[in-house]
Amino acid sequence: MRVRAAVLEEFGAPLVVQEVELAEPRAGEVLVRLVACGVCHTDLYTASGADPSGYAPAVLGHEGAGVVERVGDGVRSLAAGDHVVTLFSPQCRECAHCLDPRTNLCLAIREQQNKGLLPDGTTRLSRDGDPIRHFMGTSTFAEHTVMPEIALAKVSPEAPLDRACLFACGLSTGLGAAINTAKVEPGSTCVVFGAGMVGLGAVAGCRLQGAERIVCVDLSAARLELARGQGATDLLQGGPDSVQEILEMTGGLGADYTFEATGSVGVMRQAVEAARMGWGLATICGVAGKGETLDIVPRFLITGRRVAGSSFGGVKGRDQVPQLVDRWLAGELDLEPFVSHRLTLDEVNRGFELMEAQDGIRSVIDF
Ligand SMILES: NC(=O)c1ccc[n+]([C@@H]2O[C@H](COP(=O)([O-])OP(=O)(O)OC[C@H]3O[C@@H](n4cnc5c(N)ncnc54)[C@H](O)[C@@H]3O)[C@@H](O)[C@H]2O)c1
Ligand SMILES: [Zn+2]
Ligand SMILES: [Zn+2]
């Protein structure tokens, strides 16, 4: 079939929206009609050429939600009409990591996905017979996409897909960092650095876990106000003195849990140093620039602070994304403040501009 899609033709140049060819789903694959897709930093990072593992031509996009149209041979967990959220982090339910509760890093299709290929080593996307690669195994800046069954979370048909798409990346990452990675305990004190989609998700996750105090740190006053709406009890303007200020707010000891959601290695260090002696846990969510390293004075670790990294919030996508969506439908989460702009597919580059200007939390493409 012919579908309109936003193609990364050349690094550093705007995406080109055009018609491309999408082949039928093969065994274990699913054809999805996209309804909505968020525009995320990772798309821009790859489009800019900064990502050393990027490839072109490729159809970008990874924060998709849509409806299953057809399934390939052997697909049993999904059928036409099902509502789905796309997963750049799949869950095969069979590999050593999927069978272990300690991680969500499914091993099944990593190698091919990193090359922009579907699990059988080929693409369904093409133009004039030449293959176009699948970005993050998702390629959701398109009217339709073909994806592996194991990379789709079946969500409640009640969930409006124009907001459910937020669960495909940043929101689940932040929520999961608090719920799965840190396992925040009721009554605890938390500090979240960064109030973008990931940080705001972490604030909401700390609230759902019953944290008593949630300090949110950001450079933007407008974003800190959004954090208050998600459950932050204290707001702090970020800067070089953040650690000192947090120590003063917490009786000199620091927080039980800190979260870094900025991508800055300097802030990661602050997150470690603002964690409490004895048991404080710093959870790192941000993606640092190529080659950057995190400096930690070992004394902070010897005296009981711990550091954890969190990819997609430790969320096992097919099991847990539907649960998170249900919590939203039950009224435990307010997603309205996160959708700042609604765009058409043709306006996808405007989504990048808005993100670079830090205008709003998420732009969502409506198909
Ligand atoms: N681990 C994962 O699976 C995963 C998934 C999605 C995104 N990410 C990463 O998470 C990070 C956050 O993503 P986002 O979409 O929320 O980004 P964002 O750019 O929307 O938000 C980052 C926030 O950090 C704030 N900030 C910058 N410097 C600061 C400082 N010194 N002190 C306090 N706040 C500061 C900014 O003002 C901004 O509000 C990025 O690095 C992104 O690549 C990771
Ligand atoms: Zn994303
Ligand atoms: Zn697996």
The set of protein residues with a Cβ atom below 6 angstroms from ligand 1 is 41, 169-170, 173, 193-199, 217-220, 223, 238, 261-264, 267, 285-287, 310-312
What one-character DSSP code corresponds to residue 142? B
CA of 195 to the centre of ligand 1 (A): 7
Closest approach atom of ligand 1 to CA 239: 31
Task: Assess contact for 61 and 43: CB atoms under 8 A.
Answer: yes
> What is this structure's pTM?
0.97
Encode pLDDT of 197-212 as tens digits.
999 999 999 999 999 9
Average pLDDT, the chain: 97
- Residue 361's pLDDT is 96
Q: Which residues contact 352 (CB under 8 A, 6 or more apart)?
A: 14, 39, 43, 44, 47
The DSSP annotation for 272-329 comes to: HHTBPTTT-EEEE---PPTT------HHHHHTT-EEEE-SGGG--HHHHHHHHHHHHH
The catalytically annotated residue of 37, 83, 165, 169 is 169
CA of 291 to the centre of ligand 2 (A): 21
Strand partners, 71: 30
- Residue 64's pLDDT is 98
- Residue 289's pLDDT is 86
Say whether 37 is catalytic: no
- Residue 315's pLDDT is 98
CA of 98 to the centre of ligand 3 (A): 4
- Residue 114's pLDDT is 94
Say whether 285 is catalytic: no
Q: What percent of the chain has pLDDT over 90?
A: 98
* pLDDT lower than 70: segments of the chain: none
Pocket test for ligand 1, best of 39, 105, 181, 218 (most atoms within 8 A of CB): 218
Ligand nearest to the CA of 119: 3
Say whether 83 is catalytic: no
- Residue 133's pLDDT is 98
- Residue 200's pLDDT is 98
Encode pLDDT of 31-53 as tens digits.
999 999 999 999 999 999 988 88
- Residue 171's pLDDT is 98
- Residue 51's pLDDT is 86
What's the token pair of residue 211? 């944290």
